[in-house]
């Protein structure tokens, strides 16, 4: 059986590791190609988009895919909808492997925003030195905030418009609590901006912000297709695959 994993996440790599070497199973891992040097999972890997729903549908047919697993990033955009439509078109079972979102705890000062633009609109009233951890895409939403200073952290250097008063910090998670405390201290951060990515790899910044009493602007996740079965852990996805085998 041919399994296609739409990946690029920690959970997708873990799933590929768990499935690697399973008898009677071929696993292909698909990465979007947005990171210059991605951490490659075991097994076959393809990099790049499919060309929307029609392209993914054609790929599923051509490569005789028997199971499709959507393990993309919660903010990957429309790929989850493409996966749902393509799976339905070729009658391939679809599973979504989605890490749970973060939940505020006592002491958190969270300000939710529906988009990066909405997050940018909140910042002037919250602080002046911003730790921007939303990745290299979408920085144009903050480019007009000339009165604020930004520490922009991303895996690869961003292109396109970004805040004029900013410093770039190239780094890749997982991050430690001690490291995040040091970043906040060293750069005099008074506001943290993040997407609700979930997971443990980048969560220490939330703890560090809570300890320091800093506000955190949290961009909510985009909608996902309805009616798709979801699991939160790679091990659960393995069980789903084995049921079909």
Contact 191, 175 (CB under 8 A): no
Residues of the chain with pLDDT under 50: none
DSSP secondary structure letters along 48-75: S---HHHHHHHHHHHTTEEEEEE---TT
- DSSP-derived letter for residue 15 is H
CA nearest 197: which of 145, 141, 144, 155?
155
Residue 116 CA to residue 228 CA, distance in Å, equals 27
What domains are defined for the chain? 2-100+222-244 (3.40.50.720), 109-219 (3.40.50.720)
Cα dist from 201 to 120, 139, 225, 234, whole Å: 24, 22, 25, 15
- Partners of 28 in the β-ladder: 4, 44
Contact 157, 183 (CB under 8 A): no
pLDDT, position 159: 85
pLDDT, position 36: 63
Contact 202, 131 (CB under 8 A): no
Rg of the chain over Cα atoms, rounded to whole angstroms, equals 19
């Amino acid at each position: 059986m041919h399994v296609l994993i739409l990946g690029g996440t920690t959970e997708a790599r873990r799933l590929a590791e768990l499935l690697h070497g399973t008898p009677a199973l071929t696993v292909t891992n698909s990465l979007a190609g947005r990171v210059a040097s991605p951490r490659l999972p075991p097994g076959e890997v393809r990099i790049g988009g499919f060309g929307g729903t029609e392209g993914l549908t054609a790929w599923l047919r051509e490569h005789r895919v028997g199971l499709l697993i959507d393990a993309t990033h919660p903010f990957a955009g429309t790929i989850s909808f493409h996966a749902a439509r393509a799976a339905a078109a070729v009658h391939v079972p679809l599973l979504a492997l989605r890490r749970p979102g973060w939940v505020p705890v006592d002491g958190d000062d969270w300000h939710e925003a529906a988009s990066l633009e909405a997050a940018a609109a909140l910042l002037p009233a919250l602080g002046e030195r911003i730790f921007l951890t939303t990745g290299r895409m979408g920085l144009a939403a903050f480019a007009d905030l000339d009165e604020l200073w930004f520490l922009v952290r991303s895996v690869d250097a961003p292109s396109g418009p970004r805040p004029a008063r900013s410093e770039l910090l190239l780094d890749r998670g997982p991050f430690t609590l001690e490291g995040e405390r040091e970043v906040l201290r060293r750069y005099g951060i008074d506001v943290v901006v993040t997407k609700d990515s979930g997971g443990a790899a980048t969560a220490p910044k939330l703890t560090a912000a809570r300890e320091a009493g800093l506000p955190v602007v949290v961009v909510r996740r985009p909608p996902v297709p309805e009616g798709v079965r979801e699991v939160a852990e790679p091990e659960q996805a393995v069980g789903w695959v084995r049921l079909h085998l």
